[in-house]
Amino acid sequence: MRTITQALLFGAPIEKIFDVPIPHPDAFHQHSVWSLSQLHSAASRLRNASALFARTMATKVFTKQVLTAEDYRTQSQLLESQEAWFRELQRAERAQARLSEDEVVWVSNLKVGYFSTYILVACASDIRQINFDQHLDKFKAINQHIRVVLKARGIAVSICKNSGLESITNASKLGNYRQFRLGVGK
């Protein structure tokens, strides 16, 4: 599934080879409680549909094509599906008495994907910066959850206090340091 997403983002016409359906929000109410594995699989399908939508919208926006009512319906359906998926993830978290350390990392990884693709779809029809500014809480949530994922992978996380921006520092075994800017601080 990840290979399909990468191919879609790089412009490969995957949708001509594989069906990339737009999930319906009602599809997320079929289980009494979703397992993390089921949620991961559903997230992959949502990610693929979101990547295809974003690529299609980017082509239209940058070539100044008129966006259709169908484009906006697809965007709404994807956002509603993502919100329904996220509610099920939260419900699955609450249903388990205690998540293992690995499950906490897995859930954080799923949340990073959710917040990223939600912003991608929400802002795909208009590239003005103000649209992205409306999602500041989601950007902060990405930073919070990526910290959990990186820490679990042994990558040191530090905050640059002077700039107010969060910085991830990856110290390799050889002592080389690379910094990655992740955006908005706490």
Full residue range of the structural domain in which residue 180 is found: 155-186
pLDDT at 161 over 60: no
In the chain, the number of structural domains is 2
- Asked whether residue 149 is domain-assigned, the answer is no
pLDDT at 185 over 50: no
The answer on 73 and 111 residing in a single domain is yes
The answer on 123 and 160 residing in a single domain is no
pLDDT at 181 over 60: no
- Asked whether residue 150 is domain-assigned, the answer is no
The answer on 131 and 186 residing in a single domain is no
pLDDT at 92 over 60: yes
* Residue pLDDT, tens place only, 137-154: 998 988 889 988 888 888
Distances (CA, A) of 90 to 5, 68, 101, 108, 110: 24, 33, 17, 11, 11
The answer on 164 and 132 residing in a single domain is no
- What is the rounded average pLDDT of the residues 21-37? 71
Q: Give pTM, 2 decimals.
A: 0.73
Average pLDDT, whole number, for the chain? Answer: 77
The answer on 120 and 53 residing in a single domain is yes
- What is the rounded average pLDDT of the residues 66-71? 94
Percent of the chain with pLDDT over 70: 67
pLDDT of amino acid 12: 64
- Asked whether residue 122 is domain-assigned, the answer is yes
- Asked whether residue 148 is domain-assigned, the answer is no
The answer on 160 and 134 residing in a single domain is no
**Polymer length of the chain:** 186
pLDDT grade for 113, boundaries at 50, 70 and 90 = very high
Record the tokens describing residue 36, joined without a space.
Answer: 């993390």
- Asked whether residue 8 is domain-assigned, the answer is yes
Of 175 and 166, the structure prediction assigns the larger pLDDT to 166
The answer on 138 and 178 residing in a single domain is no
pLDDT grade for 107, boundaries at 50, 70 and 90 = very high
The answer on 128 and 50 residing in a single domain is yes
- Asked whether residue 65 is domain-assigned, the answer is yes
Helix spans in 96-184 (H): 101-122, 129-133, 136-152
The answer on 138 and 169 residing in a single domain is no
- Asked whether residue 147 is domain-assigned, the answer is no
Percent of the chain with pLDDT over 90: 27
